[in-house]
Every structure is written in C-alpha cells, then in structure tokens.
C-alpha cells in the first residue's frame, strides 16, 4: 500500500513541497524495496550477496535524496545539510517515518543527528571540521554516552562519571551503558561531572560534555546489551583513565546539562512526528486488513469490535498529531515549550503503542511475524516510553510547571 499525502491548505507551499517530494521517494524508491534495502530475509540469515545488493540499493536512494535537496534536513547547507527550518523538518518527519528506517536514507540517524545538533551549536570551528562534517558525509559514526548502570538515567544530575583537568588534558573515569551506536561509533560525546561527585551540588551546573575518540586508550566497550531478545548496538562502556586534550571539551565547563536538554527537547518533537508517521502506517495496514479478511461469515470491517479499533486509532492519531504540531509551532515561535514537550512525550508514545497494538490484533499471528513492520513498531513504541525520559518524569514536570503558575497567582493560559 502506498502512502497518501495531499497538500495541507494551512501550510506554506515549501512545507507541502517537501512533504510531497519525501512521499514520492518513500512510495517509489523505498516501500517497493523495503525488505531488500535492509537485507531482511523471510527465511534464514541474509547472504553476502543480499547485503551487497542492500548497500547498492541504499546508495541509489541516498543519491536521489541528495538530488532532491533533502539530505540531512536538520543541518544547514554550509555543513552539508538541506537547511530545513524546525517546522519544515517536523512536518517532513511525519511523512518520512511511514517507512521504518527511511530516515537513515535521508541522513538522519540517531544518535548521530542529536550529536550533530550539539556540535553545530556548541562546537568550535575546528571541532565542526573534525567531527561534524565527517558525520554528515557518513564517513564517521558517533554515540552519546550519558546513562550509567548504577545511577538513575531519569535523574541525570546523579551521574558519577568524572572528568578531571590535568595540565592541557581531561582525564575521564566512569561506567556508562545504553550508549547507542557503541560498536559502530568512531567517537562518543561523554557526559561528565567536572567537580567532586560527593561535594554539595545542585547537579545541573556541574556537567560538561567531552568528545572521546573510541580508540583512545582506556575506552573499553564491554558489551552490546541484548534488547528485546536481540543483539543491539546499545553498549556498556567503561572509561578508565581516558586522557583527551582539553580542546575536546564541547561548550564551556558546566554547560553539559543545558546542551543535553536542548538536544533532547527538539529531538522529542522529531521523535513524536516520527511516531505519528508510523501510526499512519499501522493504521493503513489495520484498515487494509479489516477490509480484506473474512472471519465468521463476514469481513473484519463489519465487526463492531474492529470498527472500534479503527475509530479509537483515528482519534489517537489525530490527538497526537495536533498536540505535537501545537508544540512544534510554539517552539518555532520562540515560546516556552517545556510543558508541551513533556505532554507529547507522555501522550504520543502511549498512543503509538495503542495503535500498533490494535493493528497487530487485527492481523492476528501475522501481526507479530517478520513479514510486517508491526512487531518492530511495537517494540519501538514501548521503548519510547522509557528513552528520553520515562513517562513519570514528564508527568511530574507538567504538574510542576502548572502548579508553579498557580502559586505565582496566575492561572494556565489556555489559549497558549
Ligand atoms: C533503546 C534505548 C536506547 C538508549 N540510548 C541511549 C543513549 O544513546 N545514550 C544514553 O546516554 N542513554 C540512552 N538510553 C538510556 C535512557 O535514556 C534511560 O534508560 C532513561 O533515561 C531512563 O533511565 P534508567 O533506565 O536508568 O531508569 P531509571 O532512572 O532507573 O528509572 C526507572 C523507572 O523509575 C520510574 N521513575 C523514575 N523517576 C521517577 C519519579 N520521580 N517518580 C516516579 N517514578 C519514577 C520510571 O517508571 C522509570 O521508568 C537508551 C535507552 C533505551 C531503552
């Protein structure tokens, strides 16, 4: 089934054009080759020739994306990107995410994309040349190393990894895990505490991000953590007296927490627009199956349970979509989006989870087979309720922001 993307009359022409071009590439180049592009086989492992063909196919699609001027939409042209505005990129993501994995063919791959944003904003010209440009050209890979096994990732102020100044160097010691891209990465951006971890601290002003090439002595990738019963590239890493030059520091000392929040803030909106694109795909699959499958003397679409799934999924998608667009517009307009970012971070992954769950139910056993993307989506949706801050933390933030207003004698601005 092809995705159906029509112009949205309230959007400017450029955004509609970007969405249209993206949809054409997805429909014509990616969906017909969805399995071959990632060398996915129905029976057994992919052969070397499957993998070789997959590489060739991916390069051909990437060339078309570049020709269409949509490569690396999150970066400015002077660093090899398409130079899309925040809103343009957000709207594009909804279309792009219709096919799982398509973003990588457009030069947007987490965690590289978040790291590119940090390098762009906090990096020196030298750092941009050395790390950002090769990342964008696909000549390097990177990881973002913040979460630690012994500390709660949902409270990043508790990080224990230290960086100590020694002459012209930083010396890092610590233990991280769930550093995505750990096996592939050429360098990590490591979140470190740059003060005595046991001293008094409010935490926020004590964090600094430092670039660590993976081949630096003392960087030990212990293992890739198995996720959902599969091999992954989310790695456990020990930094043991790792010495890097002081010029590898990103931004000023103590700016690490603010930089991480910025990275995550915009990233959460992009992730939510991605989730919405995937919800549309799950929805299309669900409705398509409901109109074709005969059970107990009638098509699934005639059963009221299934009609309920269709209606509830439509409501979930539209609610998620409007909340996310509202948040993106607020960010674009320079408003304070923090409460809305937390709201979409709670609502959208849960809605995505519900929609995919219903689509799987309608498809029966096929829903969890490797023949459809639904099982992968289901795992992705569940994971999103943990990654980038678990639901509970965002609920607490929403309540805190709202209550603060009322304690200051104001009510919430409902029009905002
Ligand atoms: C697939 C995947 C990829 C990831 N990639 C990266 C990466 O590249 N780099 C990186 O640094 N990290 C990464 N992470 C880690 C991720 O950011 C953390 O898992 C997340 O921040 C939660 O931290 P935690 O796992 O330590 O859970 P904890 O902080 O231990 O929290 C556990 C649970 O406690 C509950 N909880 C927490 N706080 C409160 C509260 N105040 N009140 C009530 N309940 C609460 C929540 O239910 C939460 O799920 C990744 C995680 C996943 C799953």
Please indicate whether residue 179, judged by its CB atom, sits closer than 6 Å to ligand 1.
yes
Q: What is the pLDDT of residues 237-257, one digit of tens each?
A: 999 999 999 999 999 999 898
pLDDT at residue 35, rounded to an integer = 87
| 8 A C-beta contact, residue 96 and residue 30 | no
Residue with CA closest to ligand 1 atom 7: 179
Taking the C-alpha atoms of residue 47 and residue 251, their distance in angstroms, rounded to an integer, is 45
DSSP state of 410: -
Nearest atom, ligand 1, residue 147 CA: 11
Distance CA 314, CA 307 (A): 11
For the entire predicted model, the pTM comes to 0.92
* pLDDT beneath 70: ranges in the chain: 40-44, 196-204
| Encoded tokens for 213 | 């090439």
* 152 ligand 1 Cβ < 6 A: yes
CB of 158 sitting under 6 A from ligand 1: no
Q: State the pLDDT at residue 200.
A: 47
Q: State how far the Cα of 174 lies from the Cα of 192, in Å rounded to an integer.
A: 8
Q: What is the pLDDT of residue 44?
A: 62
CA 156 to ligand 1: nearest atom: 21
Integer Cα distance of 228 and 375 in angstroms: 11
Q: Ligand 1 centroid vs 347 CA: distance in angstroms? A: 17
> 392 in ligand 1 pocket by Cβ < 6 Å?
yes
pLDDT at 296: 95
Q: Give 8-30 as a DSSP string.
A: -TTS-HHHHHHHHHHHHHIIIII
Residue at token pair 């997805």 = 26
Rounded-to-integer distance, Cα 289 and Cα 291, Å: 5
Only one residue has tokens 């090899």, namely 80
Q: Hey, whose CA ends up nearest to atom 14 of ligand 1?
A: 178
Cis geometry, peptide bond prior to residue 229 (ω within 30 degrees of 0): no
Question: Residue 233 has which token pair?
Answer: 């590239």
Question: What SS3 class is residue 117?
Answer: helix
pLDDT value of residue 203? 54
Residue 71 near ligand 1, beta carbon < 6 Å? no
∠ CA 311-312-316, nearest 5°, is 120
Q: DSSP states of 186-222 as a string?
A: SEEEEEEE-S-TTS---SGGGEEEEEEETTSTTEEEE
pLDDT at 363: 98
Q: 248 in ligand 1 pocket by Cβ < 6 Å?
A: no
Question: DSSP per residue over 101-149, as a string?
Answer: THHHHTT--TTHHHHHHHHHHH--HHHIIIIIHHHHTTS--EEEE---T
Q: Which two tokens stand for residue 205?
A: 């002003």
């Amino acid at each position: 089934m092809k995705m159906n993307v029509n112009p949205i009359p309230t959007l400017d022409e450029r955004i509609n054009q970007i969405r249209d071009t993206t949809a054409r590439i997805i429909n014509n180049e990616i969906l017909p080759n969805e399995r071959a592009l990632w060398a996915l086989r129905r029976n057994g492992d992919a052969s070397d020739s499957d993998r070789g063909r997959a590489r060739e196919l991916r390069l051909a699609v990437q060339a078309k994306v570049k020709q269409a001027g949509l490569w690396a939409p999150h970066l400015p042209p002077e660093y090899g990107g398409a130079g899309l505005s925040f809103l343009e990129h957000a709207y594009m993501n909804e279309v792009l995410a219709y096919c799982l994995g398509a973003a990588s063919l457009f030069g947007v791959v987490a965690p590289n994309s978040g790291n590119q944003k940090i390098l762009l904003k906090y990096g020196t010209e030298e750092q941009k040349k050395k790390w950002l440009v090769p990342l964008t050209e696909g000549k390097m890979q990177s990881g973002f190393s913040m979460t630690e096994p012994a500390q709660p990732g949902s409270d990043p102020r508790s990080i224990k990894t230290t960086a100590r100044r020694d002459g012209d160097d930083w010396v890092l010691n610590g233990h991280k895990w769930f550093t995505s891209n750990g096996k592939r990465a050429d360098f990590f951006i490591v979140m470190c505490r740059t003060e005595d971890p046991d001293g008094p601290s409010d935490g926020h002003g004590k964090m600094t991000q430092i670039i660590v090439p993976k081949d630096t002595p003392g960087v030990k990738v212990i293992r890739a953590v198995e996720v959902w019963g599969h091999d992954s590239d989310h790695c456990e890493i020990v930094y043991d007296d790792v010495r890097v030059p002081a010029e590898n520091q990103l931004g000023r000392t103590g700016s690490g927490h603010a930089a991480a929040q910025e990275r995550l803030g915009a990233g959460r909106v992009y992730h939510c627009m991605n989730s919405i694109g995937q919800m549309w795909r799950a929805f299309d699959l669900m409705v398509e199956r409901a109109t074709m499958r005969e059970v107990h003397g009638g098509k699934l679409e005639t059963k009221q349970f299934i009609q309920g799934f269709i209606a509830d999924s439509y409501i979930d998608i539209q609610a998620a979509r409007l909340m996310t667009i509202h948040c993106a517009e607020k960010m674009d307009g320079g408003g304070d989006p923090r409460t809305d970012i937390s709201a979409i971070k709670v609502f959208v992954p849960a809605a995505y989870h519900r929609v995919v769950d219903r689509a799987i139910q309608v498809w029966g056993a096929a829903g969890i087979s490797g023949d459809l993307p639904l099982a992968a989506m289901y795992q992705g949706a569940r994971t999103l309720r943990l990654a980038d801050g678990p639901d509970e933390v965002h609920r607490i933030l929403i309540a805190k922001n709202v209550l603060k207003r009322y304690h200051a004698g104001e009510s919430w601005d409902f029009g905002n």
